[in-house]
A = this chain, B = another copy of it.
């Protein structure tokens, strides 16, 4: 399939929405020829960003929704997750790899997202909330931005 497919959904703030996002991203990535490992990683990044939007952003509120988008073509897939929460400052998030945090029971989601896609952007959304944009390229050569992994 060489054409671009797009999907834009408003999902409820329940954990099933994270499952849905994961499955959708995985199936689309498969259709466009991403490798089994890339599909796995994309699914995980989609799940983790959705869980953050649902749990930290929208705090499971029934009044709040998560805007979930996928745009996929032969070269790359872009997944965008946007919540209606209070926002946060990614640079202030404790490093889960440091000695003092390694035994924490949480705090590894953003680490996995960054490890599993080629490019991640986290910024405040207007008028409220957080938007996370994740890009993964289907072939490694195309991934000219992979240094962002280390950001």
Contact = CB atoms under 8 A, between A and B. Distances in A.
- Interface SS of chain A: helix, strand, loop or mixed? helix
Interface residues of A, number: 18
A148 B8 CA distance: 35
25 contacts: A5-B19, A7-B16, A7-B19, A7-B20, A7-B23, A8-B14, A8-B16, A9-B11, A9-B12, A9-B16, A9-B17, A9-B20, A10-B12, A11-B11, A20-B20, A20-B24, A23-B23, A23-B24, A23-B27, A23-B28, A24-B24, A24-B27, A26-B27, A27-B27, A27-B30
Interface of A: 5, 7-12, 14, 16-17, 19-20, 23-24, 26-28, 30
